[in-house]
A and B are shown apart, each in its own frame.
Chain A
Amino acid sequence: MNSVQTDVQIAVCGSAGDGTIAVGDILKRAMARAGYRVIAFDEYPAEIRGFGKCIARTRITTGQVYSMKPKTDVLVALNDGHAIPHVSEVRDFGAVIYDSAPIAAVQEGWHVSGHLRPGHLPYGLPMREISEQSTSANRSRNIVALGFVAGLYRLPRQAFIEAITEKFRTKAEEVTKTNVAAFNAGYERGGETYRFDKLEFGPPARRARSSLSTMMTGNHAIVRGCLEAGIETFFGYPITPATSIMERLAVEMPKHGARLLQTEDEIAAISATIGAGFAGARSATATSGPGFALMTEMMGLGVMAEVPAVIFVSQRGGPSTGMPTKTEQSDLNIAVFGGHGDAKRIVLAPTNVEGCWRCAGRAFEMAEAYQVPVVVLVDLYLSNRYETVVFPDTPPFLPKSWKPMHRDRQADLPYRRFELTTDGVSPRAVPGDVGGVHTATGLEHNEFGRPNDLSDMHLQMTEKRHGKLNAALKHPGITVCKRFGDTGKVDVGVLTWGSTFGEALEATILAREDGIRCAAMKVVMLSPLPVRPILRFLNDCKVVVVPELNYEGQFANLISGALGRPVKRFNRVTGKPIDVIQLLQAIRGAAGKRKWRKSAA
């Protein structure tokens, strides 16, 4: 039996319009179809065509991994100018595949073959010529290159042909035929090419072969979570990188009898979401930073009026319009604190694609259970990242449910929608419930919902709105935080949130291989913050490193503010995910410094 463990990362780099992302898409779908685990992440420009650089990175594995690899094993250059800066990302003895017969003369120094490191292995391929020979056109050079990769590494051809067929199923039949022909021509050439590198693809893992495994992005996992939780209404306004949530829901929701409306802007979207939530529907919206900034006032209304609503926020580079197609984690502050007043809300930050699905589904439960807007905070990296996920046969999400009006209450007494209860959660009525007439307002109010700004009432209601959320920390079916790595006392702890967790865990694993006692903790619930387990973790760590994709360290500030503990910040604002090797070096530095301190003492 072949025991080769597969862990190969392939990057395709080209210009917008080269079909770079399409090739990456076919590659990951084919490999997932063949039974491998896949993590993939695409970088692309904000422009539509002919300007910016596109990179489709796909990590193909048999075992469980948590992030993209810091070094690429195979780089396919569809555009030399764009690919040259990424040659250095290829590991020693990794492969670089490029067009050896470009159509136009190349300026001196601008062919990618001139930039290979001595340890790289070059594979020149006349992509254009093969495309022309096999399809009578040169536009399939990207598919030729894909076929070459597949042939070179003896990847399952049928899975690719199926993926190509699926990719172009909505096009004319000729389009599929052309692309299959181009793929086959590339595959044959790859199969004939002598391979100097030692990359091996072992058989896929048994578990990944399960028919239950699915490959999807974080945004599509959110959609699945919404549908399985029984979403009834969605209101949204398109914005990168959240748009694909609405796009997919627009297709799927009508099949489930649910309604989606594209509103005129984000203010209308959040208003309608809260309105639908008030009416008793499972309701959501999705946006990114600029849109979320517009939503904060209405979110305050949701907090004050105790209306369930779910808001998906996919972060991108900011401020303002910022970098629409680059990732960042700089909306933590606005997600947790945004808006005016003491507007406490629940904020969930999933760390992987499966977590997107889980948090999406649970967000509806929590919004209803605690009568509050719930923000699900992801980022472009997680929104667009593909992972192979195994879902349970039966969705675990609870059907629509909330604390009802007291059935035994006296009918002649007014309904106290905001009744002060021990758990802070009041009996809820929705329009149409007999005897449930009440006022819901943005003004501070008494138990009946009537405006009231007396000091005691404001204090009681503020305590109620905050206190009721503590129970969310024990909400069933969601892990608010979790520790990984070494148990007990450790030299270095890595405290993370959101998509950064994958890189942090990979760095932690490498640090442990270095002999550093190291642990990582992911915090999924950012508000309310699970203070006790985080504090226990901090107490176990000599040094705590907090990696995040923002400049000031918004999560580090949150932790320091809540727990009064210093942490070592590791902030990056490159528009890219955290570099595992850089983080590993930070961990080594933190561990070394501590050891030095010990010896000096």
Chain B
Amino acid sequence: MQRIIIGNGIAGSHAAAVLRRRDPDCQITIVSAGALLFYNRYDLPDVFRGRGDWVDYLVYPPSYYDEQNIKLRRKTLVKDVDPNKRTICLSHREALSYDQLLVATGGTGYIPERLLEYSDSMISFNNYRLAMMVRKALPDGGVVIMLGGDVLGLDLARTLIETGHSVVLVAGDRTFWPHEIDADDRPRYLEALRRMGLEVVDGRRIDRVESSHGKRPARQVIFEDGEVLKGDVVMPFYGLTPSVDFMSSAGIDIERGILVNPQLKTTGDDIWAAGDVCQIWSPQQNAYHFYYGWKNVKMMGEVAARNMTGDEVPFSATVDEQIQLQEDGTIYSPFWEYD
């Protein structure tokens, strides 16, 4: 049995571990676009606490993969999937055969279309390499202009402020993503962010983002009213968009994410999906739903692996999705938790 997992995040890696536990003899191959072994992205804000070596972020040592007989193919992009031939085609023109496929490619940082042309002037925080780029670009006490302000960004903001940097948040309708906050509550939450130490700019529409070569500050955000916000780094945090492009010709149902039933099975034969890439059918809500956060995603990896090896268990979220304004006035998001 050849099982291929596309994606080397928590969903894919945990699924591989469960698969190996339940089927010691099968072949497991993880295909990853990244260069590194599985590491904890939730720890990446620690780069500002001096934890710069990527080895320190690894969840498993290199020997783990040999011990578990899990093959890991890194820097490998999947071009498309052919469910009829049961192959995945890699960008270097090699086709890999599978008996079962798990898609766990997660999501990439979403950037509103009107800001895409300014991507070169922004640095996202999706992986270790980008985290190190931000660290390199940000001087001691430097200013980060954070656009959007999803919970991942706010988690980073906490660390940046603790490490002596300034964070200016340009808030918008994706602030606190994926949490949804009533308009009436929004001012209280924004005030809580100010208490955290963020400077919050709200209700302003961005016109453009510019780089000022060779000068400090290196970046500036220009609003439609002409006002200029200057900083060292501009970081977009508008939530995630599922990485599904390579699945577009696979003939399975995709909406924003890959549509799966509660057992995380897609509409394609022997293809499952887990993590931020999939929308899970919720009989209670009678709708497809995204579930985020380390614990949910890890559970999806577990459920998918169990169902690939014969179980029929449904996924149920383990995390309360509500953001909380605590008694001391600070904000708590359950998506900041991981194990």
Contact = CB atoms under 8 A, between A and B. Distances in A.
Contacts of B75: 100, 113, 122-124
Given A116-B74, A118-B62, A118-B66, A111 B36 contact: no
A106 B72 contact: no
Given A100-B75, A113-B75, A196 B92 contact: no
Contact of A106 (B74, B94, B97): B94
B62 A107 contact: no
Contacts of A124: 75, 92
B63 interface: yes
Interface string A103-130: 0111110110110111101111000000
A107 B54 contact: no
B35 A121 contact: yes
Contacts of B54: 196
Contact of A118 (B65, B76, B93, B96): B65
A106 to B, nearest CB: 4
Given A113-B76, A122-B74, A100 B91 contact: yes
Contacts of B95: 105, 108
A388 to B, nearest CB: 33
Interface in A220-260: none
Interface in B139-186: none
Interface in A156-200: 194, 196
Contacts of B35: 121-123, 196
B129 interface: yes
Interface in A58-95: 92
Interface residues of A, number: 24
B73 interface: yes
Interface in B1-42: 35-37
Given A121-B35, A123-B75, A196-B36, A114 B63 contact: no
A101 interface: yes
Contacts of B93: 101-102, 104-106
Contacts, number: 60
Contacts of A117: 62, 66
A332 to B, nearest CB: 41
A386 B73 CA distance: 36
B263 to A, nearest CB: 29
A113 B72 CA distance: 10
B117 to A, nearest CB: 21
Contacts of B129: 194
A119 B62 contact: yes
B94 A110 contact: yes
B62 A113 contact: no
Contacts of B133: 194
A108 B92 contact: no
Contact of B92 (A106, A121, A123): A106
Nearest to B60: A118
A111 B64 contact: no
Interface string B71-86: 1111110000000000
A400 B204 CA distance: 93
Nearest to B97: A108
Interface in B91-144: 91-97, 129, 132-133
Nearest to B65: A118
B92 A101 contact: yes
A95 to B, nearest CB: 10
A194 B133 CA distance: 9
B94 A107 contact: yes
Interface string A312-346: 00000000000000000000000000000000000
Contacts of A108: 94-97
Contact of A102 (B62, B73, B74, B92): B92
Given A122-B35, A122-B75, A100 B62 contact: no
24 contacts: A99-B92, A100-B91, A101-B92, A101-B93, A102-B92, A105-B94, A105-B95, A106-B92, A108-B94, A108-B97, A113-B75, A114-B71, A116-B73, A116-B74, A118-B62, A118-B63, A118-B65, A118-B72, A119-B62, A121-B35, A123-B35, A124-B92, A194-B129, A194-B132
Interface of A: 92, 99-102, 104-108, 110-111, 113-114, 116-119, 121-124, 194, 196
Given A102-B92, A124-B92, 10 more contacts: A105-B94, A111-B90, A111-B94, A113-B92, A114-B71, A118-B65, A122-B35, A194-B132, A196-B35, A196-B36
A-B pairs, top 6 by smallest CB distance, nearest first, are: A118-B62, A119-B62, A106-B94, A118-B65, A122-B75, A105-B93
